Amino acid sequence: MSTEATWDLYANYSPRSLCVFPLNSSSSSAQTPTSLAAGASSTVAVVYGTDRGSLHYRCYRTNSPTSPATRTGFLSLGRMSGGQQQSANSVLSSSSGAPTTGTGSNSTRIAAPLGMTGNPGGGGATSSGSSGNQRGSAGLPAATALPRMLYPVDLGSTSLPGPVISCIWINGDGVYLHNNAGLSLPPLFLVLVDDPRGSSAAQPGAYGAYWVSLQHGAFHVLNTNNRIPAFALPRLSAAVAAHGRVYATAGRSVFTLRVPTSALASLTETPDRRGSNSNSNNRGNANSKKKTIPQLQFGPRVWPGPVRCGPDALAVVAEGRVVVGCVGHAFYAVAGEEIHRDEDDDDNADDIDDEQYNTRALFAPTSSKNAIGGSVASDGGSSSVGGESSKNDCVKLVHWTQSSQVHPAVALDLGDASLEPDWSSVFLANGRECAVVDLYYGPPSQPRLSGSNKPRNGIVTTASPILAAAASWPFVAILMSDGLISVRSPSCVAVSLRTVEIGTRPNDFFTLRPVVAPGTSTIYKKSFWGEPNESSAISSTWMLPWIVGISYAGEAKVLQCRPDTAQDLADRLMRHAIDAFGGNGFPRTDLAKAVQASFTATSYVGPEATPQARILLKEYLEAVLGLCDWESGASSGWPTHDTSAIGTGSGSQSNTLAAAGGEGGGFQGKWMAEHGGANADKRRKHLFSSVLTASQPAALLTSTALLCLVASQLSPPAAALASRAAKACASEMGVVLSSHVDESAVLVGQQVTDQLLRESSQGFSLVRTPKTPTIPRVHRPLQVSTDYIEASIWLLRSCGQHESAMEVAAERLQQNPTSDSSKGSASGTGVRGGQWSRIKYESYTATHLSELWCCGQEDARELVLRSAATHLLLESNPPLGLSVFTALHPQNESQWRNASPRDDPFRSTDYVYRVVSLLKSILPKVPYDKNSNPVHSETYGKKNSSLPLESGRALAVSFLESAMGISTCRPVNNLHNEAAIPYQIPPSDQEDSHEERVANFHDELALLLLEGVISERSDEIAPSGEEDTELGRIYRAKLRHLLRWPLSKVRPDRILDSLPPSFLPEKALVLGRLGKHEEALKILYRDLKSLDLALEYCDDRHNRQQTFFEKQRARTMGTSGMLQDGVLSVSSPLAANDENNAYLPLIRVALESEDTEKGCAAAIQLLALRRTAIDRAAALRLLPPEIPVSAVARPFLIPALVDSESLVRRLTVVSALLRARYLRLKEQLTSAQLKAQANLQVVPQIQSLNLGEPLHSTKPFRARTSGGGSSGSSSNMPEVWIVKHFFPRHLVIQARVTNQAGLSEKTGRTLTDIAFVVAESSEEAIQPLLQVPIAVLPSSMTGSTWCVLSAAPTRMEGSSAQLTCELRYTTVGQGGDIVALTGQSSLPDMMGKSHVEELQDLEVHASNFS
């Protein structure tokens, strides 16, 4: 906070109250011309009352309140240049025409009010009039004349019967001040005066209350003698205007006042205007209703005692439904319920209601209800502390430990926009104590009032008594009696963010008021009773960070709340750390280097460390790190400058508490991005969520380390807080390596971690270098808690010390640490197991290693590969250890389809080589139990057969299968032409290519599987095919599946050389990959004597070919879309020749076998089984001539003929359906074209002439033939209606033709080439230019043909011209309608007959073209 300007109030007497509001059209339209409204919008008005009962009105010019600097306050300061900030700092300084005193900064300038001349302090003379008002405009030049509303106005002394204690501007905060005519009323104030009458049982209020209006350049006290009943008010103790209502309290009662708008309007209007407006109001507003906000009703004597008085003694929260007040030494909250008035009452009834309501509010019947619907006894109700209220209770929010009736009670609504719905926050102060309390009032259906269990961070005691406070969320400015203003955050009210000296002597400045500017940036938080709407902006206006303070000497100072800079945060952290730990209780030097603290803060010598200082540091760090966990969900941060780092450490990144520079790079940019989103709830949750983020790694790390350290030294220790803070830091920073963080910050984190581990276990240390300073031990035993060890681990991870973190986890968290894990410990003595089970420890380690592996950093992957924790995890829990390396692999078909080239597991082949080598070297400690997991034979050939991870070979196989996608259903897309080359074989001459390296992994997997089969073969003599063990059969099944997989890139020549002679099925699959299908089938059919295996081989090959051809046909021909919505689906046989057919090689192999009879039977059986997929003619040619037809007829020929006939019938039906669909679509297209051609503005041929808009058009008339009837016309003559469209130099004739040909015979015919022709014109000035015929006109349909004629009206010899017209068309014969629609002309007899029909002449006059 800084002092931006000093205002001279020109006060003759000592001020006692202050009211600040901006001038705009709504607040002063009754007295200001519209042309001057713009000038008023840049002016701040001040109304203050004095100890002599006088009121004074002053205006001070601002430079540009609509500029970004003033509209968004500190939200724009972080993005300004130096010149812009200097301009913003002088916004509230004096303008031209207002004299100033002094030079230098704004704080030393004294700005005079607008319209004042002369010496300060002498311009406020009291006039001799009855009102005691005078405008101080003497001596002002005419050139600088101001609007009347900007001149000073004074209400003389003794005009009010005592000192003015409080002055409340009623027009602000949504209070509706309009008369029935909709005109704005002048500014109205509620003034509380300490008159000599005193309070009584009937009038328990401490002060007299008066309505005061400002109009026509003078103050008017409306209820001096109670001449108008509507202006009568009871005595009040405190009042506040908020949320569209005026709240007041007196004694033990609280109520809302009704503003006398009707009486004020009648007083404002002059007699002549009043008479003229009455009739207009009765006429114009007969059906209109006055815009009113429902009043609230509270029970009588709801407070447990008399409410304390004062200008800031009342606060209104929960969208205006809950009132907070101070009774004795405690603050209470009470809620009210709405009461609705009859909106159709006239002015007189309204005045009576106002009188009855305001004067009798204290004496409501005892049966009236309070806010929650219950009855309140006449003696008041009891109160509940901190819990939920019953129907007759108010809620006690806080009780002060110190007694202070001398200093005022302060209650302020903080306006926290980050709260959860139905929650409110309020700042409370009394004497030297203050607190921030959250209270809940909801849900809207059945609202209940309850307060939080305790204030945020407890009750705070200040150094001096608190005189006043002003809330400008997320800041609170506190004025103390020693003349200091302390700016604090509601999340950490015990810590002063900045202190400004505002007065030169104690108790000089006595009040603070924020400057609220309507029309500025507004945060629309969720309305209490529904969704966000425009009306919710009334109660959530964003307050500018400007605060005005006033002194008894008549001086006002304007202060601005500024966001924290990097240096502010660094120095504050340093000082609080010294206060909490002492000069040597923490790594002071390393912390100063890490956060770039100033020399002044680093050399600060604080008092002796106390528990209270440590608690203060804890609360501050919780707020800075965003770790405050309140029930209301409030955010804990505050704004900071979005500037570049003020310094750099030894690292390459910024290590200051400021944001790393750049647009939106720091905290300020983050807030603006969140605020600009569409989701209001998400915006609210991110409003100032924290001060430090991952963009400041050094500051974030050191602050978290200090919070863990101070949590361990509290009494009792806060172990859970330390663990939560460290985990949040690691989560925010992500995977961090030691080279990415400043060295000083790493040293701070290491020393704090070492201290935590030393305290929890004797002799355990992570410090490697003896020269590193350590933190002195606290001479008390620290409770051994897993939370501290977890905090140490998370801190080490944030420091980039991942190996040390895994070492601590292995030694301190496992229940029974293994001997291998303790070999590398820093200290071999005094170490015992922790409380984590084995599975929990292994899961944590796997997650940690997986995060390191998946971050994509080379150093992190190197660490995982060489870490002892990786080896131990793979040995003790192979599946979990394997998941570290397969976490980034797609796990299902959907993920494979959505994967990008960057997600390819083989993208970095170097690491794949190293992972495979690592996995092959692992020997799991748990051996494979053959009897524990029996594998059934039917699962061998399935690709999802699980392989027991009993060896390093099994681990490597599982990893390669996951990387290739063979075990995770990788889709087969973009296959190559398998008709000629079933598998893509990478070229062997490109050893260094990426494809070659990927093929090496495929070969490696095949060799590993082959090795597994060979190693698991039984030594005992067994029948053929049964020599494999259970595990060997799994390896064999996986090997076969790999060789069949379409995406496999195994190089067959290499695998073929490695296969033992007994691996005949595998050899057949390898030969198939080489394209030697007949040799493969010979092995399967002759050597293995298995027709089933051979047929399975052919089926697999046929399926791949069929998939390839289907995709190719769908891509090239596009026929798949036409068949989708058909009723039949035809699967035609694969059109393949002898070379590419999958089954013909097996027929040849069977026929060439030694047993001719058995081979022929097998061939015939194959033809019968796969007759739909075999080229039948080629298959019959392969059969020997000696085979009788009877042997082939029944199993093959007859079923093949039946299938062929069935296929022909199905294709015929499909063809007819497709033709019918085509004709239907063609007819729809023709109809659409005819409709489009009927519009003059759509026909392309006419549009190309650029005729413009027609002058006029004739009505349609029916055209007849030249004979005057239909006797001479053809029976196919259509009905014709003609419309003439006239343009300045053109005539467009539209002929609407309806096809009626053949309707009488019920054999509708189609007409084609229909044209309206002007054959002859009697005037040469009108000649045909263009014809637009109708191509096809189906029966009973209507279309338009056009004829365009050029016209020169001035060249016409006569006054009119005769046009000879014809209609030409062609009639399509029966059956030719389909030919006409499809455009086919292969049948000459269906082309139809041409007709020419002469129509009656058309007459055109020259006057038609004008």
- Position 80 pLDDT exceeds 90: no
Q: Who wins on pLDDT, 263 or 337?
A: 337
Least confident of 281-290, 585-594, 1343-1352: 281-290
Listed ranges 25-39, 133-147, 554-568, 786-800; the one with the highest mean pLDDT? 786-800
3-class state of residue 1396 by DSSP: strand
Give the burial class of 759: count Cβ atoms within 10 A of its Cβ; 0-12 exposed, 13-18 middle, 19 or more buried. buried
Token representation of residue 744: 């000083």
- Position 1375 pLDDT exceeds 90: no
d(CA 1406, CA 41): 65
Tens digit of pLDDT for each residue in 469-494? 998 878 899 999 988 999 999 989 99
158: CB partners within 8 A, 6+ apart: 52, 53, 54
Is the distance from CB of 212 to CB of 219 less than 8 angstroms? yes
Q: What is the pLDDT of residue 666?
A: 31
Is the distance from CB of 265 to CB of 177 less than 8 angstroms? no
Length of the chain equals 1410
Q: What is the pLDDT of residue 564?
A: 84
3-class state of residue 994 by DSSP: helix
Q: What is the pLDDT of residue 886?
A: 93
Q: What is the pLDDT of residue 139?
A: 37
3-class state of residue 427 by DSSP: strand
- Position 1317 pLDDT exceeds 90: yes
181: CB partners within 8 A, 6+ apart: 265, 277, 280, 281, 284, 285
Q: Beta strand pairing status for 110-111 and 2-8? A: parallel
- Angle among Cα 799, 803, 809 to the nearest 5 degrees reads 95
- Position 191 pLDDT exceeds 90: yes
Specify the pTM: 0.73
Q: pLDDT band at residue 75, thresholds of 50, 70 and 90?
A: very low
Q: Which amino acid is at 217?
A: G
d(CA 1299, CA 1309): 8
Q: Which of 1061, 1083, 1087 is nearest to 1074 (CA)?
A: 1083
d(CA 820, CA 807): 11
Q: Which of 437, 439, 412, 436 is nearest to 423 (CA)?
A: 439
Token representation of residue 1037: 């099944």
Report, as an integer, the average pLDDT of 1390-1408: 85
Token representation of residue 670: 């983050």
Question: What are residue 588's DSSP bridge partners?
Answer: none
Report, as an integer, the average pLDDT of 144-154: 82
C-alpha distance from residue 747 to each of 545, 589, 598, 650, 743 (Å)? 39, 10, 19, 13, 6
Report, as an integer, the average pLDDT of 1010-1023: 73
Q: What is the pLDDT of residue 940?
A: 38
Q: pLDDT band at residue 107, thresholds of 50, 70 and 90?
A: low
C-alpha distance from residue 18 to each of 56, 476, 880 (Å)? 10, 18, 70
Q: Who wins on pLDDT, 702 or 1125?
A: 702
d(CA 588, CA 567): 16
Q: What is the pLDDT of residue 163?
A: 93
Token representation of residue 261: 């708008």
Torsion of CA 825, 827, 833, 838, to 10 degrees: 0
d(CA 1138, CA 1145): 9
Tens digit of pLDDT for each residue in 837-851? 889 999 999 999 999
Q: Who wins on pLDDT, 1104 or 1379?
A: 1104
3-class state of residue 1014 by DSSP: helix
d(CA 423, CA 441): 7
Least confident of 93-102, 341-350, 638-647, 1075-1084: 93-102
Q: What is the pLDDT of residue 344?
A: 45
Q: What is the pLDDT of residue 1290?
A: 93
Find the helix or strand (DSSP H, E) in which 468 lies.
strand 466-472
Q: Say which DSSP state 1107 is in.
A: H
3-class state of residue 888 by DSSP: coil
The phi and psi torsions of 255 (rounded to 5 degrees) equal -155, 170
d(CA 1082, CA 1097): 12
User: How do the residues of the chain divide into helix, strand and coil, expressed in percent and rounded to 5?
Assistant: 35, 20, 45
Report, as an integer, the average pLDDT of 446-461: 86
Sign of the torsion angle spanned by Cα atoms 705, 710, 712, 713: positive
Is the distance from CB of 509 to CB of 551 less than 8 angstroms? yes
- Position 1063 pLDDT exceeds 80: yes
Edge-to-edge strand ranges of the sheet holding 1360-1371: 1334-1337, 1311-1321, 1360-1371, 1393-1405
d(CA 1291, CA 1246): 11
Tens digit of pLDDT for each residue in 365-401? 433 333 333 333 333 444 444 555 544 478 999 998 8
- Position 277 pLDDT exceeds 70: no
Please provide the distance, in angstroms rounded to a whole number, between the alpha carbons at the two ends of the chain. Answer: 78
Q: What is the pLDDT of residue 875?
A: 92
Position of tokens 């209770």? 393
Give the burial class of 489: count Cβ atoms within 10 A of its Cβ; 0-12 exposed, 13-18 middle, 19 or more buried. buried
Report, as an integer, the average pLDDT of 859-872: 93
Report, as an integer, the average pLDDT of 1291-1317: 85
d(CA 689, CA 1380): 74
Position of tokens 């400008």? 472
Q: Furthest-apart CA pair in the chain: how many Å?
A: 143
Is the distance from CB of 511 to CB of 549 less than 8 angstroms? yes
Report, as an integer, the average pLDDT of 677-692: 55
Mean predicted lDDT score pLDDT of the chain: 75
Q: pLDDT band at residue 679, thresholds of 50, 70 and 90?
A: very low
Q: What is the pLDDT of residue 538?
A: 32
- Position 541 pLDDT exceeds 60: no
Q: For 190-250, where are the alpha helices, taking DSSP H only?
A: none
Q: What is the pLDDT of residue 766?
A: 55
Question: What are residue 1348's DSSP bridge partners?
Answer: 1292, 1330
Q: pLDDT band at residue 687, thresholds of 50, 70 and 90?
A: low
- Position 830 pLDDT exceeds 70: no
Sign of the torsion angle spanned by Cα atoms 1376, 1380, 1384, 1385: positive
Give the burial class of 1131: count Cβ atoms within 10 A of its Cβ; 0-12 exposed, 13-18 middle, 19 or more buried. exposed
3-class state of residue 334 by DSSP: strand
Tens digit of pLDDT for each residue in 591-614? 999 999 999 999 998 889 999 999
Tens digit of pLDDT for each residue in 1096-1134? 888 888 888 888 787 777 766 654 444 444 333 444 444
- Angle among Cα 184, 45, 111 to the nearest 5 degrees reads 155
Q: What is the pLDDT of residue 182?
A: 47
Q: pLDDT band at residue 1073, thresholds of 50, 70 and 90?
A: confident
Q: Say which DSSP state 1084 is in.
A: I
Q: Who wins on pLDDT, 738 or 1310?
A: 1310
Q: Who wins on pLDDT, 766 or 404?
A: 404
d(CA 123, CA 112): 10
